[in-house]
A and B are shown apart, each in its own frame.
Chain A
Amino acid sequence: MKIYISATLRIFFGRNPVIEIPGESIGETLNNLTDEYPEGRKVLFEESGELRRFVQIYIGDENRTAKEYRNVKLPAGTEILLLPAIAGGSPNASLIPDDRRKAALLDDSEVERFGRHLLLKDIGVKGQKRIKAARVVVAGAGALGSPVIQYLAAAGVGTIKVVDFDDVSLENLQSQVLHTTRDLKRPKVASAKDKVRNINRNINLEAENIKLEADNIVSVIDGYDLVVDCTDNYKARYLISDACVLCGIPEVFGAIYQFEGQVGIFNLNGGPCYRCQFPEPPETGLVPTCAEGGAISPLPGIIGSIQANEALKLIIGIGEHLDGKLLVIDSLYLQSRILQVRKNPECPVCGTNAAITTVEDYDYEDFCGLKAREEEIPIEGLTPEELARRIENGPPVTLVDVREPHERSILRFPGVIVIPIGQLARRKNELNPEVDTVFICKEGKRSILAINTLREAGYAGPMYNLKGGMDAMKDIIFTHEGAWL
């Protein structure tokens, strides 16, 4: 084989531009070459035997650096190019520009309060001033928002905007450690404001008691340095990510489900966005949202704390972070891995020919399957009151509970047939097409999927959806049951 050597590497190969070396594959030829030039071996290979990062092997115009080509037999006389990859980048930059850092001043009490940060070489006074100057939006004051808001406040983030439209309910207290029994029925943002005031009165906490929608998101996040996504549903995630791309704001993403959690950083300096990694949401209903599916108490604490840590690293400009990566943690078996997230050149938001240029014109409800499609026959629904009357006064109805077994064990609906969604098509003969059938899930969304699934499977009987699912049914009393559901 003939090996052509880049001028940048030649001093390690006797200054020869071309060397004839016997060998039948790239691997064998490189081996023979570096046997002859031991200095060259040290330059090309790590001690582990892996090629160094900058070494690139080409045959003609084709890059053949990857391991899979190493032992492929080549025709005699193949010309191999040994070239360097010349690449680099700027050092990790802080999200907070120097002028804002300099404008932030620490008083005596702050020097005392943040002493443990100031002691760290990587944070110090400069880093703490950056933290103080930072303006961060936390979307969601629930499970993930609880640790994120409290740690960002404790660390001294100067301005924190918390956005949530929900009130605190009893079932929130299992994992949303920001709220207490005293906060029941209060807006989550009000409770967040109180907690932060108790941590540090100097923090400017902006509470927005609204639901993020396409027509308000830009005004909510514009002008902030960072958005931490602590929401629990796909619509909000796509909306936040898209708006972050369009406003040029990086995002720290977090999600939890049952025992597993994910953290990633999207849209940092034009890096990949949420859509690059997740081009489409899973079909509605197949994966229950966290609100429907549940998660073990400390899991949001773990994931949210990592989100807060990543946020602070971005603000200070230190360390290696999850830019273009997704950390996946399995808390049940204590395993974690980091997935690489690649920028999708065809991404509809951040790609070369992005089709989404404003969030207002994009139909998130439709994209996330939250809307009945036009070509489909509309699904008739019953309110909890209507269903209750129907059960009590007849005519008889068949009730089908499509929830998963663990969800049913929490709250049972009396007199139902239990068929999880995955088995519906197969078990459709268990239903009587002469009788009205009502489908029940936790929030009334998976039950719509159930009805559509059965329609596709050719079931012709009348089907109804329980609007709002079991959650909406909780306050209805059945007189003949004599008990709360």
Chain B
Amino acid sequence: MTLLKQCCLPDHLTFGSDVRHAIELAAICAYPNEACGILLGHSETGTVEKALAMENRTGKGISGLHYRIDPLDLYRQERRIEKEGYDMMGFFHSHVEAETILSDEDEGNMIPGMIYAILPVFHGKPGRIQTYGKTGTDGKATEISIRLEEKAKQ
């Protein structure tokens, strides 16, 4: 595998409290289909501050097992995000009735340097988010540990 020197992944990530809720909400709403979306934040500090759900553009019938974000949808979102001052950190998607391990399809489509969060949903109930990333062009992705900020009690 070719390691890319410009590409670095944070050792740890911090997910803001709203981020987890937003991902869980997207996954429950999409169930029994897969939810997908983008993660925004600040790369230097490794904090993810926002999760934006995107439309799963997979064809009818197979969205329970696959997700696809339309490249043009993504590009339009990116332009809006920049104005808000966030960095594009990566993506999230849910796995329906399946564990949080990467599928070959997940791994083959990974962009080095981006983070990929997966939330498993079993019978409509969200499980634990896990995050992966790649620093080279080929080969296996590595898991990145995350710290979930809990919502302050009000």
Contact = CB atoms under 8 A, between A and B. Distances in A.
Nearest to A320: B104
Nearest to B36: A86
Contact of A56 (B36, B64, B71): B71
Interface residues of B, number: 49
Interface stretch (B16-24, B44-52, B106-114, B146-154): B106-114
A266 to B, nearest CB: 12
Interface stretch (A6-14, A303-311, A404-412): A6-14
A83 interface: yes
Given A12-B7, A53-B108, A93-B97, A88 B66 contact: yes
Interface in A1-58: 4, 6-9, 11-12, 17, 39, 42-43, 52-54, 56, 58
B71 A88 contact: no
Interface in B36-90: 36, 58-62, 64-69, 71-72, 74-75, 78, 81-82, 87-88
Contacts of B61: 269-271, 343, 350
A88 B102 CA distance: 9
Interface of A: 4, 6-9, 11-12, 17, 39, 42-43, 52-54, 56, 58, 61, 63, 81, 83-93, 269-271, 320, 343, 345, 350-352
B49 to A, nearest CB: 15
B72 A86 contact: no
B106 A88 contact: yes
Given A83-B72, A83-B75, A86-B36, A11 B99 contact: no
B72 A91 contact: no
A375 to B, nearest CB: 37
A96 B76 CA distance: 41
Nearest to B57: A87
Contact of A7 (B4, B62, B78): B78
B4 A43 contact: yes
A9 B69 CA distance: 16
B96 interface: yes
Give 10 closest A-B pairs by Cβ, nearest first. Answer: A270-B61, A88-B106, A83-B71, A7-B88, A90-B98, A89-B66, A86-B69, A87-B68, A91-B103, A90-B95
B110 to A, nearest CB: 7
27 contacts: A6-B74, A6-B78, A7-B81, A7-B87, A8-B74, A11-B113, A12-B4, A42-B137, A43-B111, A54-B110, A54-B111, A81-B71, A81-B75, A83-B75, A85-B69, A86-B71, A86-B74, A87-B66, A87-B105, A88-B67, A89-B66, A89-B103, A91-B103, A93-B65, A93-B98, A271-B62, A350-B61
Given A12-B7, A352-B60, 7 more contacts: A6-B75, A7-B78, A11-B6, A83-B71, A84-B111, A86-B69, A89-B103
A61 B72 contact: yes
Contacts of A6: 71, 74-75, 78, 88
Contacts, number: 132
A314 to B, nearest CB: 13
A43 B4 CA distance: 8
A475 B97 CA distance: 59
A105 B113 CA distance: 45
B78 A85 contact: no
Contact of B74 (A83, A92, A345): A83
Nearest to B71: A83
A61 B72 CA distance: 7
A43 B102 CA distance: 20
A8 B7 CA distance: 11
B101 interface: yes
Contact of B67 (A7, A42, A87): A87
Nearest to B136: A42
A42 B7 CA distance: 12
A56 B70 CA distance: 10
Contacts of B114: 8
A58 B88 contact: no
Nearest to B4: A39
B4 to A, nearest CB: 6
A454 to B, nearest CB: 45
A345 B58 CA distance: 12
Contacts of A92: 103
A270 B61 CA distance: 4
